[in-house]
Amino acid sequence: MQNPRSAKYHGPFLKLAGFRARCGKIAATAACVAGMSVAQAGELSLSWQDNSDNEDGFEIERALPGEDFGLVATVGADAESYLDQAVLAGREYEYRVRAFNAYGYSGYTNVSVGFVPNTAPVVGEIEDISILKGEAMPVAEFSYSDAESSPEDLVVEALSSNLSLVPLTGIAVSLERGTGSVSLTPNSSATGVATITLLVSDGVELTQQTFDVEVKRNLAPTVGSMQAVNVYDGQQVGPVSFTISDSELAASDLTVVGLSMDESLIASESISIGGSGASRTVSFATKPGVSGTTTVRMAVSDGVNTTNGVLTVNITRNAAPVITGLDERYTIEGDGEISGLAFGISDRETASSSLSLSVRSSNSMLVSPFGMKLKGSGSQRTLDVTPNPGMTGTVVVTVAVSDGVHTTEHAFELRVLAPEQVVNILGFSIEQSLAVVEVENREGASFSLWKIHSLDGAWEKVADAEATVGESSTILIDPTPVDSPVCYRVIASE
């Protein structure tokens, strides 16, 4: 019996029965085609018909179309299939098989071609972007996937069609398991449109997705001119009207901020902006006691560009009004009044007729607001004061005049005496031709001496009567010698 291992092969004894392609999970392996940096493996199942009975095994060789075959695997005797797990999806491979034993090799089988199906990656749509020059660029978000590859194994790149607007250095792509974003930084001085092309590759197929980025020209806002204003120190100024507009935005979307160019003349915190839309106003206060020229700046912004409107303010130091002709104090008898008390008002910068005049009482129980009346016009004015009936005491009456910036006040004391009362005389005598009258003291009262020379005459007040106040009584002496019949009385005033 012939030793089967010493037998010679006589002609081809193998025939490839064909192959089956099995697509599994693609993963990077060490069995990569020479020259490729990343390999994504699929599977091809190869089968053949074993026509011999003396082989030691089979060699499986593989080649890319047009290239040389190379050994990829060796399997044992009686094998009729091989699973190649080092193939790339989307690639075509050629296979051939030969048997071998200790005495040599058989011929090769026919060449069989295998192909692992591959689908292109899928990239979600990306919305176009349109902004004004200088505005913040929104981030473009997208989704990506592949039927045969995991997101981590896909290669994603982005290109710009307008490098003067969006240079490649201004494109940043971020990826995270199937979702991505494109951050763009356009040239700050450029406007126009750039098409951004997103490229997603699985190593075989390439998918493109595009979106447009438009950077529009952004003109600065405009501010209407304002005439200079002439004002005084310590004055509330405004509202002063001005207009604003913008080529790209509605006027209502613009922001306006007021700023003083000289805080020593006008405090920025006193500036307020009013109005709406295109019609705006500015109000402010000048500081008291200052003079000079400054500007109030209205900064109008569209969020990118700022235009400054300027209001020139000329400040003159304003002299306060003047009040003349009023004394420091007045006294009236009970149930009396002041009528036609004359005084003058004036101002260096303001006509007297334009001055504001007012009067107030420190004690409305004694002198109410209704008991004071200002009269006259121009620089000549009068004041009537009528105390409330039956009321006595002291009140401070203040007359105030204002030019709208400064106010000057003059306060005077008004004493309202109690009605006079005739008091009983304790004693009367003539000493050295002088009349001596004694009356009982009254707390808080003063005494006046009066005399009359005939029944049809008039009572006369003894103007220079000498008064001596004792512990319980007061002595009043008429300094005029008595040389004719005379009658005296004493009146107490509280």
- Give SS3 for 384: strand
pLDDT at 305: 87
pLDDT at 301: 93
Q: What pTM was estimated for this model as a whole?
A: 0.46
The pLDDT profile of the chain, 494 residues, written as one tens digit per residue, is 333 333 333 333 344 444 333 332 222 222 222 222 223 446 888 888 888 888 999 999 999 999 999 999 999 999 999 998 888 777 888 999 999 999 999 989 889 888 877 888 999 999 999 988 888 889 999 999 988 788 988 999 999 999 999 999 999 999 988 899 999 999 988 889 999 999 999 888 899 999 999 998 888 899 999 999 999 888 899 899 999 999 888 999 999 999 999 999 999 999 999 999 999 999 999 998 899 999 999 999 988 889 999 999 999 888 889 999 999 988 887 678 899 999 999 998 889 999 999 999 999 999 999 999 999 999 999 999 999 988 888 999 999 999 888 899 999 999 887 766 667 888 899 998 899 999 988 887 788 898 888 877 778 889 889 989 888 889 999 999 998 888 988 888 76
Identity at 254, one-letter amino acid code: L
* Residue 278: exposure state from Cβ atoms within 10 A (0-12, 13-18, ≥19): middle
pLDDT at 419: 67
Strand arrangement, sheet containing 236-245: 222-223, 236-245, 279-285, 272-276
Distance CA 244, CA 281 (A): 10
Q: How far is CA 168 from the centre of its chain?
A: 36
| Pair 93, 72: CB distance under 8 Å | no
CB atoms within 10 A of CB 289: 10
Of 303, 296, 300, 310, residue with least CA distance to 277: 300
| Pair 339, 425: CB distance under 8 Å | no
Of 144, 88, 95, residue with least CA distance to 118: 88
* 359, two tokens: 């009067």
Give residue-wise pLDDT tens across range 341-354. 999 999 988 899 99
Beta bridge partners of 237: 284
Of 202, 160, 198, residue with least CA distance to 181: 198
Categorise residue 471: left if φ over 0, alpha if ψ from -120 to 50, beta otherwise: alpha
pLDDT at 5: 33
* 37, two tokens: 């940096």
DSSP state of 137: P
Distance CA 251, CA 194 (A): 30
Distance CA 273, CA 261 (A): 16
DSSP state of 224: -
φ/ψ of 371, rounded to 5, equals: -95, 10
Give residue-wise pLDDT tens across range 305-314. 899 999 999 9
Identity at 371, one-letter amino acid code: G
Return the C-alpha torsion angle 473, 477, 483, 488, nearest 10.
-50
pLDDT at 494: 62
CB atoms within 10 A of CB 50: 17
pLDDT at 296: 96
| Pair 374, 383: CB distance under 8 Å | yes
pLDDT at 51: 84
Q: What distance separates the 2 farthest-apart alpha carbons in the chain?
A: 199
| Pair 262, 292: CB distance under 8 Å | yes
Q: Which helix (H) or strand (E) holds 485?
A: none
| Pair 291, 325: CB distance under 8 Å | no
| Pair 402, 356: CB distance under 8 Å | yes
Give residue-wise pLDDT tens across range 241-273. 999 999 888 999 999 999 999 999 999 999 999
Of 135, 134, 133, 154, residue with least CA distance to 143: 154
Domains of the chain: 4-115 (2.60.40.10), 122-216 (2.60.40.10), 222-316 (2.60.40.10), 322-416 (2.60.40.10), 421-493 (2.60.40)
| Pair 14, 99: CB distance under 8 Å | yes
Return the C-alpha torsion angle 28, 30, 34, 36, nearest 10.
20
**Distances from the Cα of 189 to the Cαs of 133, 215, 363, in angstroms?**
8, 10, 73
Distance CA 245, CA 91 (A): 63
CA angle, residues 292, 297, 299, in degrees to nearest 5 = 175
